[in-house]
Amino acid sequence: MYHFHPDHSNAAPQVFATGPLFTESDRVPSCAVRNQIQRSGLTLVELLMSMAISSVLIVALGGIVTATQSAWIHTQGIEDSQAQVTATFDRIKMMVSQAGVYQVSGQPPQVGLAVVTHPWNYIDIPDTLIVWTGGRNGGISDNGTLTRLPKMNELLIYTLDPNDPHNLIEVALPDSTTEIDFNSSSFKNTIRTAIKSNTAESALLCNRFKNSQYLLSGTPLGPAAGNLFFEIIKTPSDSSLSGVTAGTSSWMNLSWPQGIVSASSGLRQVSVHYEAHIEILERTSLNDVNSTTALPFFGSCTRIYAYTP
């Protein structure tokens, strides 16, 4: 019920109803007050600046990720190449250490090691190593100096694959019992023919050899060739031994390894040096020929035997 009081200072607040279901919040004020709502946000300039900063950070992070990935691929490629080269060099070293020695018809003893070249753009490349080991299992050196010629099925040949010079292969000729003399004038041609024969059995050792092609005024000329080089150094050399009689002062003064020599024989060393240029990345059209990403690897091994003329 509405009550009127003339004295507004003591006037009671207007109440529309009373009762237990009504509270103080149900009272209606005599006047309304508008609440001011504060709104906040980014201006267009601030938004553009934040987008620019974000773009710079994204580009920087992308560059870091790309550089890290490239470094990882490069490192992984070096490790893979190193593993292949190590396994290949260890195989060659083991077989060279087991190379046999033969002596026939009163000739000086001959160790079963030789390097054969092949012509490339008027250049002879020494890329083929022949080792007389007795076969893939080796062991011919355990028989001492033999008085017979080696047989073709007792040889191992390390050379580049004629069909793909990126690959280094180990060639064996298990079905050929033909004898071969390392001092023969036909030795090189016999080996070259044997490598390409249908009876040759090859085992892949490394598939990352760099290929080079001769450039004439910037234009490729001739076929590509794998970067593999072998060299054999004998101490004393063949030339120093020729014409020297055992037991003489000239004989005793030769450069015998470790100075081990007697009046009838001396210790001779045959060293095999090899160089290989290996790609650190898988082969693609970008590094197929004349690549600049290949790394050089060097190795050497020796065979020591008693030289008795």
Is residue 54 over pLDDT 60? yes
Is residue 25 over pLDDT 70? no
What DSSP assignment string belongs to 89-119?
HHHHHHHHTT--EE--TTPPPEESEEEEEEE
Other CB atoms within a 10 A radius of the CB of residue 177 amount to 10
Q: What average pLDDT does the structure give for the chain?
A: 85
Higher pLDDT, 57 or 267: 267
pLDDT tens sequence across 142-181: 999 999 999 999 999 999 999 999 999 999 999 999 999 9
Q: Where are the domains of the chain?
A: 89-307
Give the per-residue pLDDT at 214. 81
In this structure, the strands spanning 101-102 and 145-146 are parallel
Q: How far is CA 262 from CA 101, 251, 308, 309, in A?
A: 19, 9, 10, 12
Separation CA 287–CA 281 (nearest Å): 8
pLDDT tens sequence across 68-121: 777 777 778 888 889 999 999 999 999 999 999 999 987 889 999 999 998 888
What DSSP assignment string belongs to 148-192?
S--BGGGEEEEEEETTEEEEEEEEE-TT---B--TT-TTHHHHHH
pTM for the whole structure: 0.77
Rounded to an integer, the average pLDDT of 191-218 is 90
Separation CA 216–CA 221 (nearest Å): 6
> Under DSSP, is residue 219 helix (H, G, I), strand (E, B) or coil?
strand
CA 100 to chain centre: 31
Give the per-residue pLDDT at 62. 80
